[in-house]
Structure 1
Amino acid sequence: MTRKRATSIGFIAVLLWALLALFTVGSAPVPPLLLNTLCFAMGGTFGLIWAASTGALPALRTVPLKVYAFGTIGLFGYHALYFSALRLAPAAEAGLIAYLWPLLIVLFSGLLPGERLKAGHVIGAIIGFSGAALIITGGGGGFSTQYLIGYGLALLCALTWSGYSVLSRLVGSAPTATVAVFCLATAALSLPLHLVFEETVWPATSLAWASVIGLGLGPVGLAFFVWDIGVKQGDIQLLGTSSYAAPLLSTLVLVVFGVAAPSQILLWAALLITGGAFIAARASFKT
């Protein structure tokens, strides 16, 4: 596979993640842990079918247990927090806060051995977090506690995925097929927790079922496989930069489908969060 083709495949993940908020809203009122179970069971099953058809299954036996544990915790934690955040706060606003993860990845990566935190990282972080503050304060209209728990979970979501992404450099590499195991293990972990802590509520409409299936096949399924191919065989810097478009794309999708109302606050928050991440990324690209 050529570097250019792998990069193009990886970019598919960014487009799929732009649909994550829309499908999550559409899957209501399914509780977060049950949604985790259903989506990752689908993503993992199709991942195993793909691995079997490509002869990649034998390689799974050589992957260290710590890699499986780390990947499972990352996927489980991020999506349990994300689904919960979008149940407790407006989708567009909570989704934008969750999409602080590209900025945080750049910021945290500057703390890794051999890396250095630069002025551009700090400036980008200030700009990005000002976008999140704009959401939480309602554009200066006063601090509201109505959606504070949802916004807090969205911030934890961003911290979880950025921390997982940065620390993965210290865990070691693994074949793309391991993503299928991560997905199935996440589903297996989510199910008993759902039975203990949540009331079982199945999708009530065909739209809700379509949203759950869409999540399992796309943003919570195929996206992880194509992203893994992209970052391992393609241009990782270009892919990293493209991921900063995800907050804008996700917000645009919600507005187009009528889930979120267009507003100046939403626009400025999206621009600040995306722009802050891009500025921080440029600081990393400079020699």
Structure 2
Amino acid sequence: MSLPLPAPKTSTSIKDHLSLLLTVTIWASTFINIKIVLLQVPPNTLAFLRFLVASIVLGLHLIWRRQPFVKRQDWPLAGLTGLTGITLYNFLQNQGLKYAGATDAAILAAMAPVFIALLAWLLLGERISRRQVAGIIMAFSGSVLVATNGSPEGLVLNPARLYGDLLVLLTGLSWAVYSISLKRLLNRYTPVTVLTCSTIAGTIFLFPLALLESPINWAAVDISCWLNVLYLGLLASALAYLIWNTVLTRVPAVTAGVYLYLLPVITAIIAALFLREIPGTFTITGGIIVLLGTYLAGK
């Protein structure tokens, strides 16, 4: 997902709505693509390959558009956004998806606005309303319901799933730090410049993590796996972000933000079709509570 940016309150065209829906559908599908690729490629290597592709595409796009990269004095801030929004986020997500279900992961990853509200309160001194407090409590309660499957015994019966859920939950915290750091860069550069430089920085940080993993028998990696990697790099990490940032220059942020709440729903549908993951009653109930709480916390 991407941080919604301020936009003029103009009427939103059907093309813009379709673009937002396409972007969110692509992002929802990544939870399934990642689980498929993880069967053959370890998580850190997958993240590095994905964003290496994205870095090349975005870098060429920036050069073609003749837009500048960030200035030297802003490299540390660009590095921080890449470390939190690209490296840590995808490290935690890929590691978590080794154990968590795709639907669980989509629900828990949707809690990023909750962490943004908390960090803005703790670090920036922004006021937090009673409605936001209620939303935070609801979101965390729903996440516990999803992770435990409605019973404390779930902690004992399936510790691997709980571990995966917790890692994915931490992606929300990582994204919150990224979003707050991003604000300063967005005041100085275009969204495409910030996205490109953050992606390149995050890819550089992912490289040593990929080297730490066991050697891979590349000859055994089939063409389907490589197609999924290209899909993650070209469509999910480059094209989708470019579409999202472009549409956000024309539509109100609140309009785009509503589409992010479709992520768990679309992920659940795709996971049921391709992974045969059928969400249980507690997952559905907890997911609804998480989304409602996140909506209140993010307002």
* TM-score band, normalised by shorter chain: 0.7 to 0.9
The answer on 1:216 being equivalent to 2:219 is: no
1:20 maps to 30
Contact 2:149–2:283 at 8 Å: present in 1 too? Answer: no
Which among 86, 91, 98 is matched to residue 80 of structure 1? 91
Instruction: Report the equivalent of 2:195.
Output: 179
Taking a change above 3 Å as real, the CA distance of residues 15 and 163 of structure 1, as seen in their structure-2 partners, is same
Aligned ranges 1:134-283 → 2 under 5 Å: 134-140=145-151, 142=153, 143-144=155-156, 145-173=159-187, 174-175=189-190, 176-200=192-216, 202=218, 204-231=221-248, 234-281=251-298
Partners in 2 of 1:262 and 1:61 — Cα distance?
Answer: 44
Question: Which is further off, 198-207 or 145-154?
Answer: 198-207
Are 1:53 and 2:64 an aligned pair? yes
Which residue is 2:128 aligned to? 117
How far the C-alpha of 1:117 sits from its partner, in A, is: 0.5
Q: How many residues end up aligned between the 2 structures?
A: 280
Give the drift of 1:38.
0.8
Structure 2: distance between partners of 1:201 and 1:100: 37
Q: Work out the percentage of aligned pairs sharing the same amino acid.
A: 22
Query: Is the counterpart of residue 96 in structure 1 residue 96 in structure 2?
Result: no
Confirm or deny: 8 A CA contact 2:77 2:185 kept in the other structure: yes
Distance 1:215 1:157 in 2: 18
Normalised TM-score (structure 1): 0.85
> Given the alignment of the two structures, is residue 62 of structure 1 paired with residue 85 of structure 2, yes or no?
no
SS class of match (2:66):
coil
Q: Find the aligned partners of 1:10 and 1:52 in 2 and give their Cα distance.
A: 26
Distance (Å, rounded) in 1 between the aligned partners of 2:174 and 2:152: 29
C-alpha displacement of 1:40? 0.5
The residue that corresponds to 1:43 in the other structure is: 54
Asked whether the 8 Å contact 1:124–1:279 carries over to 2, the reply is yes
User: Deviation of residue 217 (structure 1)?
Assistant: 1.4
* Alpha-carbon distance, 1:211 to partner: 1.5
Take 1:184 and 1:113, find their aligned partners in 2: how far apart are those partners?
27
CA separation of 1:138 and 1:80: change in aligned 2, threshold 3 A: same
CA distance in 2, matches of 1:93, 1:201: 30
Segments of 5+ residues of structure 2 without an aligned counterpart are 1-6
Question: Structure 1: which 5+ residue stretches go unaligned?
Answer: none
Deviation of 1:226 (Å): 2.9
Counterpart for residue 71 of structure 1: 81
